[in-house]
Structure 1
Amino acid sequence: MVHSLWLGSHQFFILALPLIFWLSDHHFERSPVYILGMSVYFTGILKDLFCIPRPYLLPIQRLAISNRASEYGFPSSHSAISASMFLMGLQYALHVQLIVQQLTLFLGLILYGFLLVFGRVYCGMHLIQDVACGWTIGVFAWTIHRVFGEVVKQWATSTQASVPLVLIVCGLILTAAHPQPVDNCPCFEDSTAFVAVSVGVMNFVMLVTLYLPKLDDDDFS
């Protein structure tokens, strides 16, 4: 069960996100980057704001695959990632034509969500309320992208000269707005990394649209 924690690690998404781009039908394009980024950013803010430690396990040894077991526990960023990935996968499965592929995706998503969330509780990394709040944040991040994603995409891919400047300023504001934790915590590093990636991706898409208009947007999704 401890190895299921890898499903929410940086290494997993370094491998998984490019595969989504290369093997999918480009229906989601850059959506996973933005949704996962919001999930990590929102959970990072709450972790550093409340500074609630992980569960205190007196006779039990906590199981972990990284050196981050000492960071704050509320809310669970793995649960937020699990919720957002589950909803994105469910949205993708609804566009699949073959019933067998749909059922396979549904079962895979259920297994992924269960292993990732239950594994955090089993290994002593989180309490139930940590997981519940994380799932709520993941659903919230997916909903924001579902409602405003297309509008932001149209604006970011426009040829307005102010787009890069606005994106950079927004990225700096989001970075400055991140609370300062009591103890050292990698949440700030994760949040700023996702903000930088999201801003960089949007700026790159804008430059491609401006200087390489004949190329299909799917080639850079």
Structure 2
Amino acid sequence: MTIDAVRSPTLDTYFAYVANLGTHTFYMMFLPVCFWCGQTTGGRALVHMLALGVFWSGWVKDLLCLPRPLSPPLQRITMSGSAALEYGFPSTHSTNAVSVAVYMIYHIQDGGTSLPESFQLPAIIACYWYAISIIIGRLYCGMHGFFDVVIGSLLGAAIAWIQLYYGPAYDNLISQGDWYWALLSSLAILVAVRFHPEPADNCPCFDDSISFAGVNIGIEIAHWHFAKSPFSWDHPVPSTIPFSLSKLGLIRTVLRLLVGVVIVFVWRAVAKPTLLKGLPPLFRQIEYVGLSLPRRFFKRASQYTKVPRLLKDDNVIPPARDIPKFISSLGKPRKRTVSVGPQSEADAREMLAQREIHRKQSLRDLQSMSSNGDIAVSTAVVDIQEAPDQSKLLGHDLAQGRSPYQSDSEQEKVVFEGIEKPRVRYDVEVVTKLVVYAGIGWLSCEGNAVLFALMGLGLR
């Protein structure tokens, strides 16, 4: 049974919505709330698991460069413009969903949450439903193959196991240890970023890894420093932001969250353009003395005078001006997200390779029939002898104005011309993202907590 046989508008809409619950944007918007509501252990665990999931799945993607399932014949359903530009193996959505679900289920069953007993079973069912919906949705939406989600899920389970067994000891080491443990942790993250594989195509996996690496650096530094601050609580764990819904009340709690979100966006809006403007001269000096660390697909500072205004340059947290547009788009997912045809350079190469494989197979079959005296064949007709799946490729080619009689070079040129060209990327973006997201991590764990106390939105 094919996916097309079970597709319906209802399922299209459901899985398009569900996919948003596994995106980096959803997690990054949700994580600060954990810290501001006093859930330090859970917040740190989620940051660690998601950072490991995004980094290692992206690391494997950029190392192996395995494309997503071919479209056509599949139709892709996604609400993320950048997701289709990534490679397919393994599935980051599956990795993150499974790691979060396994962690939550373990703590619910272990009594590590404050949930009443009557809510525990529904909560466990919700965790299973969440993970299964994400995994099946990646297959249904044509974004991943079977092995993509299987390996991604296994990676997520392994990450959850590491966090469950080693996370508490690591948290205590950072909060109770000397300053150099937080520094060593941050340096290890920077080394991992530096040795991230360089992909064959302009893939955004590296950008996402940088963002989560920056958040991790920020929360490690904040966790160490805030634990020694008079503004923090030591219960239930060191470096906890004081919170009690019964003492704060609903209005002050909502104000606290709104202020926290606004501060995060203000920091991003100020820090990002400042760094993009101030870093290029420094990078040119570093490059001049031969200390630059160039990365493929990133333009060096010596090759440009200034960084122009960047549009759609962040796949994790959108600019504040784009949030209303993002929310309004949620109401019409199917209309906006069904796509057929190659969307990235990897897709284009995969389609051309599959076409060549089918063409050669057709040639062998026809030559075999000819040698048996069944038919007389010439290679001129091979291009229109299509395998079953290839017939969909042919139909898509004709719809896009491509002829099956074009030469290989002509077909390749036409296919690549139909793909949206990746934007120019600049070397200073790497450090900019690290600093901006490290600041977001610090604000989430310490900076905003101090501000809450000073504004009367905290507890002492």
* TM-score between the two structures when normalised by the length of structure 1: 0.91
**Where does residue 167 of structure 1 map in the other structure?**
185
**Is contact 1:167-1:203 (8 Å) kept?**
no
Identity %: 30
Instruction: Give the whole-Å Cα distance in 1 for the aligned partners of 2:135 and 2:224.
Output: 37
**Where does residue 96 of structure 2 map in the other structure?**
81
**Is contact 1:29-1:218 (8 Å) kept?**
no
Change in CA separation of 1:26 and 1:91 when aligned onto 2, cut-off 3 Å = farther
Q: 1:166: how far off?
A: 1.2
Q: 1:30: how far off?
A: 1.3
1:63-102 correspondence to structure 2 within 5 Å: 63-67=77-81, 68-94=83-109, 95=111, 96=113, 98-102=116-120
Three-state SS of the structure 2 residue aligned to 1:218 is coil
Comparing 94-103 with 165-174, which one deviates more in the overlay?
94-103
**Is contact 1:159-1:209 (8 Å) kept?**
no
Instruction: Give the whole-Å Cα distance in 1 for the aligned partners of 2:106 and 2:119.
Output: 13
Three-state SS of the structure 2 residue aligned to 1:30 is helix
Instruction: Give the whole-Å Cα distance in 1 for the aligned partners of 2:33 and 2:221.
Output: 22
30, 41, 44: which one pairs with 1:16? Answer: 30
In structure 2, runs of 5+ residues without a counterpart are 1-14, 234-238, 242-444, 447-460
**Is contact 2:103-2:164 (8 Å) kept?**
no
The amino acid that maps onto 2:168 is E
**Where does residue 196 of structure 1 map in the other structure?**
214
**Where does residue 138 of structure 1 map in the other structure?**
156
Three-state SS of the structure 2 residue aligned to 1:157 is helix
Deviation per CA, 1:32-53, whole angstroms, max 9, x where unpaired?
Answer: 1111111111101100000000
Deviation per CA, 1:111-131, whole angstroms, max 9, x where unpaired?
Answer: 111211111000100011000
The amino acid that maps onto 1:207 is H
The amino acid that maps onto 2:21 is L
Q: 1:11: how far off?
A: 2.6
* TM-score between the two structures when normalised by the length of structure 2: 0.45
214, 218, 221: which one pairs with 2:240? Answer: 218
Instruction: Give the whole-Å Cα distance in 2 for the aligned partners of 1:27 and 1:59.
Output: 45
Instruction: Give the whole-Å Cα distance in 2 for the aligned partners of 1:93 and 1:23.
Output: 19
**Is contact 1:76-1:131 (8 Å) kept?**
yes
128, 132, 135: which one pairs with 1:110? Answer: 128
Three-state SS of the structure 2 residue aligned to 1:116 is helix
Change in CA separation of 1:161 and 1:110 when aligned onto 2, cut-off 3 Å = closer
The amino acid that maps onto 2:117 is I
Instruction: Give the whole-Å Cα distance in 1 for the aligned partners of 2:135 and 2:88.
Output: 13
Instruction: Give the whole-Å Cα distance in 2 for the aligned partners of 1:70 and 1:26.
Output: 34
Change in CA separation of 1:162 and 1:103 when aligned onto 2, cut-off 3 Å = same
Change in CA separation of 1:165 and 1:110 when aligned onto 2, cut-off 3 Å = closer
Residues 1:39 and 2:61 aligned together: no
Residues 1:7 and 2:21 aligned together: yes
Q: 1:77: how far off?
A: 0.3
Q: 1:109: how far off?
A: 0.8
Instruction: Give the whole-Å Cα distance in 2 for the aligned partners of 1:120 and 1:63.
Output: 9
Aligned residues: 220
**Where does residue 149 of structure 1 map in the other structure?**
167
**Where does residue 69 of structure 2 map in the other structure?**
55
**Is contact 1:156-1:205 (8 Å) kept?**
yes
Q: CA RMSD in A?
A: 2.0
The amino acid that maps onto 1:100 is S
**Where does residue 139 of structure 2 map in the other structure?**
121
Instruction: Give the whole-Å Cα distance in 2 for the aligned partners of 1:170 and 1:27.
Output: 22
Q: 1:155: how far off?
A: 1.7
The amino acid that maps onto 2:148 is D
The amino acid that maps onto 1:32 is L
Instruction: Give the whole-Å Cα distance in 2 for the aligned partners of 1:24 and 1:115.
Output: 29
Instruction: Give the whole-Å Cα distance in 2 for the aligned partners of 1:18 and 1:145.
Output: 19
Q: 1:23: how far off?
A: 5.2
**Is contact 1:86-1:110 (8 Å) kept?**
yes
Q: 1:110: how far off?
A: 1.6
The amino acid that maps onto 1:218 is T
**Is contact 1:54-1:70 (8 Å) kept?**
no
